[in-house]
Structure 1
Amino acid sequence: MATFNNFVLQLMLTITLILLAEAAKDRRAIPSEEEQKELERQLKAINKSAIKSFKTEQGEIYDCIDIHKQLAFDHHLLKDHNIQMKPTSVPKWITSKNISQKVDPLQLLPRGISCPDGTVIVKRTTMQDLLNVQHLKSIGFNSYRHGHTEGNNIDLTGHHFATVDYKYSTVSGVKGNINLWDLQVSQDQVSLATMAIAGGPIENLASISVGWMVNPLLYQDHVHLYTYWTADGYQKTGCYDIRCPGFVQVSKRIPLGVLLKPVSIYNGTQYQMELSLHQDRATGDWWFIFGGVNVGYWPKSLFIASGLAKGTDKASWGGQVYSPLTKKSPFMGSGHFPNEGFGKAAFINGIEIIDGKGEALIPQIYTIKTHKSSPNCYKAKFIHDDDDPWIRAVFYGGPGGCTGQLLSEESQGLKNLDKL
C-alpha cells in the first residue's frame, strides 16, 4: 500500500509540474499591455497597405504591395533609392550536368494568386510571428550564423555546421543547386541548407545567405525559402526575408518565405532549386535570382561601410542546425551522412563563383575547405572529381543527436589538433 501511495504521489507531482510548466508557457505567450502596443507598432510598420490579398490552405496570407511603398524604403539609407527592375549585368554561368528535377519558382504559389503590374508579392507578418521571434531569441537563437564566425566572439552556442567554404580571392557572385528536403524538427529547433557570402572583419561581418529552412517558429511547418542579411556581425542590422527594411523585392510571383515543393524522397526522386547571388557591376547591388527569375536585391548602400560593398572573399555551401542545449540537435540535410550518396544524402551541386572581373569560374580544389563543427553528428564531403556527375558539389548532413557538451568537447579536440 505504501508503494502504491508513493506512486500516486509521484504521479500527482508530475502532473502538477506539467500543468505549472504549461501555465508558465501561456503566461510567456501573453505580452504585457506595453509590449502589445510595441508589437502592434512593429506590425503596422512591417505590413504595408495591400492592393490585393490572398490566403492559402495553410493559412498564410500574401499581399500585393505597391513596389514603391514596400518596407525596404523605410530604411534610412534607402530614402532616395531608385528601384532597379533588373540587374544591368547577368553572369554567364557554366552549364553543368543535372540528374535531379529542378523546382520551377513560378509554380510555388497556388493557382489564382496573381499580383497586378506595379506591385510585389509579400508574405504578411502576423502578431504570432513576432511573438515566435521573441521566443527564439529567449532560447538562444538570435539569427542565422555564418560558418566563418566560428571560434570568434560571436555566440555560436547550439549551432552546428557542415559546409564547404571558399576563401581565396575576390568573389562577386556565387551559385548552387540546393537539394530540397522536408524535415521534422521540434518547435524550438532549426535546420537549414544554405549558400552564403561574407566579408569584412569577423567582429563586424557582413553577409547574405539564401536557401531553405525548416523552423516551426518562423515558418509554421515544412520547408520554406529563406534569406538572411547583416552588415555588422548580427548586432543591429539585418533580418530574415523582409521582416525589416533592406531587401528590395521586384518579383510579383516569388515571395520570400514561400513554401517549397515538391521535395526529395529518400532513395527516390530528387528535387533541387537553382539559386544565385551576384553583385551588379554597374550599381554594386547584390541580386538574388531563383531559377533564372529576378527576385530582388540588397542595395550596395546597406553595406557601404562593410566588406560587401566591393565584392568579398568568403563563400560557403552546406547545412546548419540550431538546438537549445536542453535538447539533442535535429536532422541536417536529409538526416543521413554524405557517404550514402545521391538519392539518400543531401547535396548542393553546380558550385560556382564569379571572380572580381565578372567571369564565372569553377573553384579550384585548393581554394575549398571542408568544415565540420560536430563530425560525430554531421559531416560534409566535397565532390571534385571531373568524372562524377558534378564537377563541384558537396554532400552534407547527418542524424544529429549532439548536445552543447558534445559540441564543446569536439571543438576542444579540434583546437588540440591545431596545436600539434
Structure 2
Amino acid sequence: MGNDFDCVDIYKQPAFQHPFLRNHKIQLVHLDTTQDMTFRGASARISLYNLSLQADQFSISQIWLRSGPHDELNNIQVGCGVYPNLYGDSQLRLTSYWTANGYKTGCYNVNCPGFVQVSPDFPMGSTFGPASAIGSDEKLDLLFKVQQDRTTGNWWLITGDNHILIGYWPKNIFTHLKDGASLIQYGGETYTTPNLMSPPMGSGRLPREHLKNAAYFSTIKIVDSEYNEVDIQRGDMKTYILTNPNCYDLLYQGYEGKQDRQAFLFGGPGGQCGP
C-alpha cells in the first residue's frame, strides 16, 4: 500500500467531531452467516485484482458486519475497492463504509466524523502494491479483519500478515453494533448509473473459470460471542446471487485448499445485468 496523504494531529481528525465521539443500480453476490448468535468480528483473505472502471461506477470486494432493523441498520463494510468518483482514479484501494441509521447518514473512509485513524502508514484510501494476474499460478491477497475490542467495545480494522492496526470505529457511534454484530457477509458489490453497463467484479472473470482466473475469499473466519476466532461451518453459511449469474456468480464448496479453510470464488465481467 502507499500514497501521499496530508498528516494531521490524531486528535484533530474528523472522527472527533462526531457528537458521540445515495437512485442507482447495485449488484451484489455474497455469503451470509445464518447463525442466531452475536458476532464480535470477522476476517478473510481477499484476492487483489486491478479493474478498469468508468466514472459513476464502483466495484468493491468486502466484509459486512451488521446489526439492527432495516431503518436503524448499523453497518461496517471493509475491503478493497475501485471507485473513480470517490478517489479520482481507477486504482484498487483500501475502502470502508459505515452507517448507524440505515444509510440515512454515514460515509466512506474518513469523509465524515466516525472512523479514528491510528496507523500513520496505511490511511483509509491507500492503494495496494502488486495485484494478481489473470491466468497466473501466483495469487496475491490480503487479510482483512474487523474485531470488537473486548474491553472498550470499539471496532478495530486490522490488515495484513503483520496484523496492522489501521484504526477503529468507536462503539458510541452505533446503536446496535455497540453490542456486537448479528449478521456477517462476505462478497462483492458493484454500482453503476442506469445509462452504463454494470462494471466487473473481483477479477472480472466468473467462478467457473476456477482459481487460475477468478477472484476469491479464503481463510474465512468469524469471532464468536466469546471472542474466539473460529472457522465458519458450511451449514452456517447461505449463498446469495442477486443478479444474472452470467454477470456475477459465486462458487462455494466449504473447506478448500492446502490450509483446509473456508473459501469461495466470486465475481464476473458485469455487462447488461438487468434492473
Coarse TM-score class (shorter-chain normalised): over 0.9
In the alignment, is residue 395 of structure 1 matched against residue 262 of structure 2?
A: no
Distance 1:184 1:296 in 2: 29
Q: Which one of 197, 201, 205 corresponds to residue 336 of structure 1?
A: 205
CA contact (8 A) 2:39 2:180 kept: yes
Contact 1:383 1:391 in 2 (8 A): no
| Conserved? CA contact 1:317–1:394, under 8 Å | no
Cα drift, residue 76 of structure 1: 1.3
Deviant stretches of 4+, over 6 Å = none
CA–CA distance in structure 2, aligned partners of residues 390 and 339 of structure 1: 21
1:64 and 2:20 equivalent?
no
Cα deviation for residue 356 of structure 1 reads 0.4
The one of 130, 146, 150 equivalent to 1:262 is: 130
Q: 3-state SS of the aligned residue for 1:377?
A: coil
Asked whether 1:368 is paired with 2:233, we answer: no
Distance 1:384 1:223, change over 3 A: same
Where do residues 96-175 of structure 1 align in structure 2 (5 Å cutoff)? Answer: 137=22, 140=23, 157-168=24-35, 169-175=37-43
Inter-partner Cα distance in structure 2 for 1:348 and 1:164 = 10
* Mapped partners of 2:259, 2:148: distance in 1: 29
| Correspondence list, 1:289-368, <5 A | 289-291=158-160, 292-303=163-174, 305=175, 307-368=176-237
Contact 2:220/2:263, CA 8 A, preserved across alignment: yes
Larger radius of gyration: 1
Change (3 A) 1:372 1:245: same
Correspondent of 2:156 among 267, 284, 287: 287
Separation in structure 2 between the aligned mates of residue 323 and residue 401 of structure 1, nearest angstrom: 10
> What secondary structure sits across from 1:343 in the alignment?
helix
Deviation at 1:383, TM superposition (A): 3.2
Q: Equivalents in 2 of 1:386, 1:332: separation in Å?
A: 22
Alpha-carbon deviation of 1:380?
0.9
CA RMSD of aligned residues (A): 1.6
Kept after mapping to 2: 8 A contact 1:349/1:390: no
Q: Which of 155, 177, 188 is matched with 2:45 structurally? A: 177
Q: In structure 2, what is the equivalent of residue 28 of structure 1?
A: none
Distance 1:249 1:166, change over 3 A: same
Retained in 2: the 8 A contact 1:171–1:311? yes
What secondary structure is seen at the aligned counterpart in 1 of 2:124? coil
Q: C-alpha separation between the residues in 2 aligned to 1:343 and 1:390?
A: 18
> Which has the larger share of helix?
1
Query: CA 1:235 to 1:252, structure 2 compared with 1: closer, same or farther past 3 Å?
Result: same
1:221 is displaced (CA, Å) by 2.2
**Residues 1:229 and 2:172 aligned together:** no
Aligned partner letter, 2:145:
S
TM superposition shift of 1:387: 6.4
Asked whether the equivalents of residues 256 and 263 of structure 2 are also in contact (C-alpha less than 8 Å), the reply is: no
% same residue: 36
3-state SS of the aligned residue for 1:358? coil
DSSP-derived class of the 1:384 partner: strand
Quickly say closer, same or farther: Cα 1:363–1:399, change in 2 above 3 A. Answer: same
Residue 91 of structure 1 is matched in structure 2 by none
Partner SS, residue 178 of structure 2: coil
- Higher strand proportion: 2
Contact residue 255 and residue 263 of structure 2 kept, 8 A: no
Question: Partner of 2:145: helix, strand, or coil?
Answer: strand
Deviation of residue 74 (structure 1)?
Answer: 0.9
Contact 1:162 1:371 in 2 (8 A): yes
1:252 is the counterpart of 2:120: yes
Aligned residue pair count: 268
CA separation of 1:73 and 1:391: change in aligned 2, threshold 3 A = same
Gaps of 5+ in 2: none
User: CA, structure 1 residues 302+203, in 2 after alignment: closer, same or farther (shift >3 Å)?
Assistant: same
Of 47, 56, 63 in structure 2, the residue corresponding to residue 195 of structure 1 is 63
Match of 1:385 among 249, 252, 255: 255
- State the secondary structure of the residue aligned to 1:260: coil
Deviation of the 1:386 alpha carbon:
5.4
Task: After superposition, give the CA deviation of every residue in 1:9-56 in whole Å (9 maximum; x if it has no partner).
Answer: xxxxxxxxxxxxxxxxxxxxxxxxxxxxxxxxxxxxxxxxxxxxxxx9
CA distance in 1, matches of 2:140, 2:258: 19
User: What TM-score comes out, normalization by structure 2 length?
Assistant: 0.93
